[in-house]
Structure 1
Amino acid sequence: MSGYTHNPGYSSSFNRHHTIQQRPYSYQQGPPAGADPQLWQWFCAVDTDRSGALSVTELQDALVNGNWTRFDLDTVKMLMNIFDTDRSGTINFNEFAGLWKYIAEWQRVFKHFDRDRSGSIEGHELAEALRSFGYNLSPPLLHTLEIKFAGAPTTSGVYGPPPGITFDRFVRACVTVKTLTETFQRADQDNDGWIQLSYEDFLKIAMNAP
């Protein structure tokens, strides 16, 4: 047992508090009350079109792994889907502050399970992390998960360093397992580990996965 059981979660109270659409902040007015000045400066730096909100590409510029590579675009889209609470298609500063806190929580998890300090999560480390969250996956399924979320090939077609799963893809892997498990559990009303799905329901689950 690792003794680590904290699985970062998205707070529904945050969602309820921020569902009212907010106007982008004016840079002339300075940061909103109570804002972290450094986080505000970073938000302003990546908001290159000065719109007061971040697009997907601007958000990708704001998020980097430990080796200074940008977050995988699919992970950025997943985070935007979670934190774009007013469904504007962009991330305002309050949403960005919530996203930043969420990322910081996942960074603590990542560092805890990156035992060899390689900057990436390998198969046995991924298995340990998922077990600590209550997800006991079979070795073949873990292998499939590891292959799916391993680093993308470079332009030359060769997989570059670091080996294993980088931080951004680790977050998406864990959120994917969590989301699919919760979807399965809602359908498994008798808790026998089996469900029956129509073809359309199966496609909905697959298409809604992170």
Structure 2
Amino acid sequence: MYGQPGYGAPPGGVNPEVQQWFNAVDRDRSGAINAKELQAALVNGQGKNFSDSACALMIGMFDHDKSGTIDVNEFQQLYAYINQWLTVFRTYDRDQSGNIEEAELAQALQQMGFRFSPDFITLLIKKSDVQSHRVMTVDQFIVVCVQIQKFTEEFRKRDTNMAGTITIGFEDFLGLALNCST
């Protein structure tokens, strides 16, 4: 999918390009795609398949019936979602290396409305980059951005005074962390 432009679906149906991708990804012809099938179809900027966690996260986001798989309509939503993130990623991967460095990540997150410290940006890169190259691939970028968005939504629900701080119980914190991490 890397490099494929996204298109809207024809009224009342699935975009033919999306249907073609779905058919190619649905290797067992079950009519549904699981995380392993999705992983086999997605390649990051380093020529490697997307990580297990990225694929599981994306399937989970669009698996409305919690079956562990997505159908062609859910896949169409996922396809559009991935293409949106690819556009953002490419915007900040200025050297077209297939990776974004700390400064590029900081700019991307700032553009999304987040003002994180340089130390926090470094932490995000270190957490994502298991090979210590101080860069982030597109799948790692998607995972980090989705997790930040999920945590932000949950934080805002609890920050009823919009003060930028919350008081949270330990179990609530653990539930929040577990739900936002996958």
1:1-210 maps to which residues of 2 (within 5 A)?
A: 34-150=13-129, 152-153=130-131, 164-210=135-181
Q: 1:186 to 1:38 in 2, by over 3 A?
A: closer
Kindly indicate whether the alpha-carbon contact (under 8 Å) linking 2:125 and 2:134 is maintained by their aligned counterparts in 1.
Answer: no
The structure with the larger Rg is 1
Give, in angstroms, the shift of residue 168 of structure 1. 0.8
Provide the residue aligned with 1:17 in structure 2. Answer: none
Give, in angstroms, the shift of residue 51 of structure 1. 0.8
CA deviation map 1:25-76 (0-9, x unaligned): xxxxxxxx74333332332222222111112111111222233311111011
Q: Among all aligned residue pairs of Structure 1 and Structure 2, give the percentage whose two residues are the same amino acid.
A: 42
Provide the residue aligned with 1:24 in structure 2. Answer: none
Kindly indicate whether the alpha-carbon contact (under 8 Å) linking 1:79 and 1:99 is maintained by their aligned counterparts in 2.
Answer: yes
- 1:170 maps to a residue whose letter is F
Query: Distance in 1 between the 2:14 and 2:178 partners?
Result: 36
Structure 2 unaligned runs (5+)? 1-11
Query: Distance in 2 between the 1:205 and 1:106 partners?
Result: 24
Query: Distance in 1 between the 2:114 and 2:134 partners?
Result: 23
Query: Distance in 1 between the 2:29 and 2:146 partners?
Result: 31
Kindly indicate whether the alpha-carbon contact (under 8 Å) linking 1:47 and 1:54 is maintained by their aligned counterparts in 2.
Answer: yes
Give, in angstroms, the shift of residue 191 of structure 1. 2.1
Query: Distance in 2 between the 1:146 and 1:126 partners?
Result: 8
Stretch deviating more after TM superposition (38-47 or 131-140): 38-47
Which SS does the other structure have where 2:136 is aligned? coil
More helix by share: 2
TM-score normalised to structure 1 length: 0.75
Give, in angstroms, the shift of residue 163 of structure 1. 5.5
Query: Distance in 1 between the 2:86 and 2:146 partners?
Result: 14
Q: 1:106 to 1:133 in 2, by over 3 A?
A: same
Q: 1:186 to 1:44 in 2, by over 3 A?
A: same
Kindly indicate whether the alpha-carbon contact (under 8 Å) linking 2:45 and 2:97 is maintained by their aligned counterparts in 1.
Answer: no
Structure 1 unaligned runs (5+)? 1-32, 154-158
Which SS does the other structure have where 1:71 is aligned? coil
Kindly indicate whether the alpha-carbon contact (under 8 Å) linking 2:92 and 2:104 is maintained by their aligned counterparts in 1.
Answer: yes
Provide the residue aligned with 2:4 in structure 1. Answer: none
How many aligned residue pairs are there?
A: 170
Stretch deviating more after TM superposition (35-44 or 78-87): 35-44
